[in-house]
Each structure stands twice: as C-alpha cells, then as structure tokens.
Amino acid sequence: MARIHNYFVYILECADKSYYVGVTNDLEIRLTQHNDGENVLAYTFTRRPVILKYYLRFDQIEDAIDFEKQVKGWSRKKKEALFKEDWDEIVKLSNYKIK
C-alpha cells in the first residue's frame, strides 16, 4: 500500500507586510521555527512575527516544489487573490487570454 505523504507550500505575511513563500513537510513545526527565529540568516528572522496566510497540501514533493517556485514569481496582488481563492482574479493577473 502506498504511503501518503504530506508536503505543504505556505505563504507567510511578515511583520513588515512582505510575503514569504516556502515548502515543508510539517507546517506547524515550520511556522514555529520561523517565529522563534531559529535561523539568523533566514529572510523571516528580522521580519518576525509572521502570520500564516495560505497553505496547500501536496502528496508529492516535486509538485510542492513546482508550485512553490511558481508562486514565488507571482505579484503581491496575485498572491492576495490566492488567499481569497479568487480564481478569476488570478487568471486576470496572469494576463492569460481565454479564447
């Protein structure tokens, strides 16, 4: 029987209102690590506290990494549309032409 894996792409809002996108296999622990400032070199270290704004679960790490890379390239407005799951706005902000 195949083992189900949990991988999460997550978006944090930092204290300076910037967004951080990451991937993890344990969302709760990772959020604690960000807020505890475990890595002084991390983007979020000087931007604490952070707030979880969005996450999406994946079964395969490759899919999670692909989505993380995609979302990292998105504009602030497009990420905010994702928080609201406003798919029409995401398409609009993608400059995607529906034929």
Q: Which of 59, 45, 44 is nearest to 9 (CA)?
A: 59
Between these two residues, 12 and 2, which has the higher pLDDT value?
Answer: 12
Per-residue pLDDT reduced to its tens digit, 44-59: 999 999 999 999 999 9
Count structural domains, the chain: 1
Has residue 42 been placed in a domain? yes
Has residue 48 been placed in a domain? yes
Has residue 54 been placed in a domain? yes
State residue 4's pLDDT score: 73
Per-residue pLDDT reduced to its tens digit, 26-45: 999 999 999 999 999 999 99
Has residue 79 been placed in a domain? no
Coil vs helix vs strand at 10: strand
Q: Give yes or no for residue 96 having a pLDDT over 80.
A: no
State residue 8's pLDDT score: 98
Has residue 60 been placed in a domain? yes
Has residue 80 been placed in a domain? no
pTM of the shown model:
0.89
Has residue 18 been placed in a domain? yes
CB crowding 53-88: b at 16 or more within 10 Å, else e: ebbeebeeeeebeebbeebeebeeebbbbbeeeeee
Has residue 95 been placed in a domain? no
**CATH classification at residue 20:** 3.40.1440.10
Domain housing 48: 7-73
